[in-house]
A and B are shown apart, each in its own frame.
Chain A
């Protein structure tokens, strides 16, 4: 094999996350909202609800339901314009985002209601579903939805023989590379999103999940800091 990947393209260490930034309350009209930036990827999530769900036959009399909608702005990518209106990819990501968040939420008090989460990617450089989930978890916390833990997500993967954390676009699109997005509740250690495309051995997966766990713990610090910036009572 032609080894050209001795160092990461942007000079990071193999287990290093790109610079992060999080802010809560960026969409004042919403019941809860947050922005999360990781490198060149910026996600904004807004929560509307709990509110009554229509049509009524969709209601669950035992608990509220969660609805996520993932979307990329037309000019979010550095390449071709993204055609507005969604596609199969955005539908699937909306669905797995829902599944990534719901295990940590307690919607039992909201029978017949819906919690709508809108996730918009305003700028993208890979890892968009993970940034979206991380932002959505913050927005749900901002909206005061009861939760067992904040969900945090990161993509890990492999380029040539190197296992890496937080892939950028160049790494994500590298020939025969592996992309493995993971969402995790770091307090309980539960994995709520797991996808992968590429080829991986059992041992590699084990190592990557450990790397993801460590990265998620670091990202969670940023999430908590953002919440404290809005909600701490006078303390620094």
Chain B
């Protein structure tokens, strides 16, 4: 980033405003489209400003893990393809993609989004595996929140495919059965840039981030996951303040799901 852009961005934050005139705790326009692609059993496309993320759900039948013979499972995978940003390179998922997928996975799993026992087909023999794949189409900052919202919405959108007696899936036949959801955990990420606390950064602001916390928040305000990132530390007061903002702002994200 050029020095002049860096200084300008920081100066604006100092004046409690941003290059697109938003308030520090204001999200860009958020839109959500359920069933955005036809191939997946469930999908959702989320746009936060110019940031554009597509998530899809595929079902597979697998053998339950030995320690949880009566449960199904979920897998979250994110890929940051070079299409969506000049900073992404081809190749296997890098640490940024792995972190994003794992943080979203934890928020869903620990928040109790899915009752895994309901994904069991036959104890010890067969289970449903719900695989969520997340792909940014365009990265204009704050991929974390867009990806988390898209992943949750794709699961909500998903319908089980038909299965024959030999536990073989017929992907071309859909049932009307949906995944029974317990809670709706959403991730909300709060950034600290030069001592200012902001939400929903643009790519430029994201580059200047000193520290961030991604908070998984349930409907009732309970947290289901936390992940700190960034090169700098945070004081206890800062953490408390950022978590407060996350719980409050997660409602903005949640509102979009209900439409």
Contacts and interface: CB of A to CB of B under 8 A. Distances in A.
Whether chain B is bound by chain A comes out as yes
Interface of A: 26-30, 33, 40, 42, 44-46, 48, 69, 71, 73-81, 84-85, 116, 118-120, 122-125
A119 B139 CA distance: 16
A118 B81 contact: yes
Interface residues of B, number: 34
Nearest to A75: B56
Interface stretch (B33-41, B65-73, B233-241): B33-41
A42 B45 CA distance: 14
B127 to A, nearest CB: 16
Contacts of B140: 28-29
A120 B79 CA distance: 12
A79 B84 contact: no
B101 to A, nearest CB: 11
A26 B171 contact: no
B40 A75 contact: yes
Main secondary structure of the interface of A (DSSP, over half): loop
Given A29-B84, A84-B133, A120-B81, A78 B39 contact: yes
Contacts of A84: 77, 79, 93, 133
Contacts of A27: 52, 83-84, 137-138
A181 B203 CA distance: 39
Nearest to A94: B90
Contact of B137 (A26, A74, A116): A26
A69 B39 contact: no
Contacts of B84: 27, 29, 46
B83 A44 contact: yes
Interface string B81-93: 1111110001011
